[in-house]
Amino acid sequence: MAALVALPGCYAVQRPEGTVQRPDHPSDPIGDRKLTEGGDLVMGLSAEPDRLDPTTSSSLYTRYVMNSICEKLYDIDATGKLVPQLATALPKVSADGLKVTIAVRADVVFADNAPFNADAVKTTLERHLTKKDSTRKGELGPITNIEAPTKDSVVISYKTPFAPLAASLADRAGMILSPATLKELGDDFGDRPTCVGPFKFVKRTPQTSITVERDPLYYAADQVHLDTITYRIMSDANIRAANLRSGDIQVADSISTQDVDALIKERGIGLLQVGSLGYQAMTINVGNVDGAGEDPKKIDTPLASDPRVRLALAHAIDRSGLVNSVFNNWYEPSCSPISPDSVFATDRSNACLPHDPAKAKQLLAEAGVPVPFRINVNTSNTAEALRFAQALQAAVAPSGFELQVEPVEYSTLLDLQSA
């Protein structure tokens, strides 16, 4: 018996060959009307964000909130390319790959009016590396030293070259925290997260909502048109859809594919499809014994130790069939955590193993495991996640797998992934 967390994947983009082409459904065009200044945008979130602390958070839903209040050293533009945000240029890497120099902005202040500079970047990155419950440590690679030789430059030294650094700094690892608020709150930084961003944190009502407001100290405050954003927790997809219809929320982080075809017929509701770098995946623990970010150790189970069992599972999954039957063909099958829309995608990362139940059975026989091979799968207890898990359960059974689906709260799922 083995255990998994989450589910295998697809991402919402344009349709693959052989599937139904879905057109966009724009809402009413604004035309020459002037944009309204001010107001509150309400966004429905599918789950409660975890800690509002870039060092320790691991939830997708936390990222939605943090992106409005914490800018990063780098960002990803509409074409999927890395671009500077709080940095002023892409990193300069030494010939041996062991020193990375990052130039940072000198014209910025945090929401608490503390100056943004290289020392603040150094403080944040060192916290990511040393905080006991950090989930960023593994994203930054084998760093040996961080220096801030000037107020607008940071030098990071490595034991061995680490190519993904800039990409990591375009996510939570690159969100720079106010040293003044860090000094004041310490481990409780997530109670009042303070960064550089178009909005600043106002309040959080657990299980209900999170509110942020426009930050007048933001370096581009004249380009921020909303007064506030309220993130309202709505775990039920039917409730999110109903609130979109009623106008109680203006944006939803996701809508059940079971609701999309009906929603796009509603006046005032638009649907635009864009490429995504996100994915859903079946996460198999092959070495996490002491917690996320710690050195891997051996896990003595067939699923963790024998690649033939994992390969058999990959051959047992009919990704296209799941996308068609569970998601009404609104997603595209994915075979790698690297989206085909990413600048880092290659033919190899885009390639999929064929759905081949006979090959799966052969590999299980070669591995000498009992058939059906039982796997416990932890998944979120939302209706969409359960529908997918149950479809997957039925789909892999003919290949010799017995999935035991164990639904848990989303926060528990995150804890299981990082424990």
Q: What percentage of residues in the chain have a pLDDT greater than 70?
A: 91
How high is the pLDDT of residue 4? 37
Angle, CA of 335, 395 and 11, to the nearest 5°? 30
Give the length of the chain: 419
**CA–CA separation, 151 and 124 (whole Å):** 15
Q: What contacts 137, CB < 8 A, 6 or more positions away?
A: 128, 129, 293
Query: What would the pLDDT profile of 279-314 be if each residue is shown by its tens digit?
Result: 777 888 888 887 766 778 888 899 999 999 999 999
> Three-state SS for 204?
strand
More confident of the two residues 237 and 66 = 66
Q: What is the pLDDT of residue 7?
A: 34
- Quote the tokens at residue 312: 């058999």
Q: Which residue intervals of the chain bear CATH 3.10.105.10?
A: 2-18+276-418
Going by C-alpha positions, the residue among 136, 159, 156 that lies closest to residue 145 is 156
DSSP 81: -
Burial (CB < 10 A; 0-12, 13-18, 19+), residue 325, is middle
pLDDT at 381 over 90: no
pLDDT band at residue 20, thresholds of 50, 70 and 90?
very low
CB neighbour class for 168 (10 Å; exposed up to 12, middle 13-18, buried from 19): buried
Taking residues 395-408, report their average pLDDT: 95
Report in angstroms the alpha-carbon separations of 113 from 91, 124, 126, 188.
Answer: 27, 17, 22, 19
Residues carrying CATH 3.40.190.10, the chain: 47-233
Query: Is the per-residue pLDDT at 18 higher than 60?
Result: no
Question: Above 80 in pLDDT, residue 182?
Answer: yes
10 Å CB burial of residue 359 (0-12, 13-18, 19+) is middle
Work out the average pLDDT over 79-92: 95
Radius of gyration in angstroms for the set of CA atoms belonging to the chain, rounded to a whole number: 23
What is the bridge-based pairing of β-strands 40-45 and 251-252? parallel
SS3 of residue 1 by DSSP: coil
Average pLDDT, the chain: 89
What does the DSSP assignment read for 239-260? Answer: HHHHHHHHTS-SEES---HHHH
Contact 48/61 with Cβ under 8 angstroms? Answer: yes
Cβ atoms within 10 Å, residue 240: 25
What is 8-60 written as a DSSP string? Answer: --EE-SSPPTTS-----B-----TTPPPPPS-EEEEEESS----S-TTT---H
Residue 28: count of CB within 10 angstroms of its CB = 9
Task: Return d(Cα 345, Cα 340) in angstroms, integer.
Answer: 5
pLDDT in tens, 127-169: 999 999 999 999 999 999 999 999 999 999 999 999 999 999 9
Mean pLDDT, rounded, for 172-195: 98
Higher pLDDT, 51 or 23: 51
**What is residue 292's predicted lDDT score, i.e. its pLDDT?**
67
| Assigned fold of 47-233 | D-Maltodextrin-Binding Protein; domain 2 (3.40.190)
Pick the CATH number of 2-18+276-418 from 1.10.260.40, 3.40.50.300, 1.10.1040.10, 3.10.105.10: 3.10.105.10
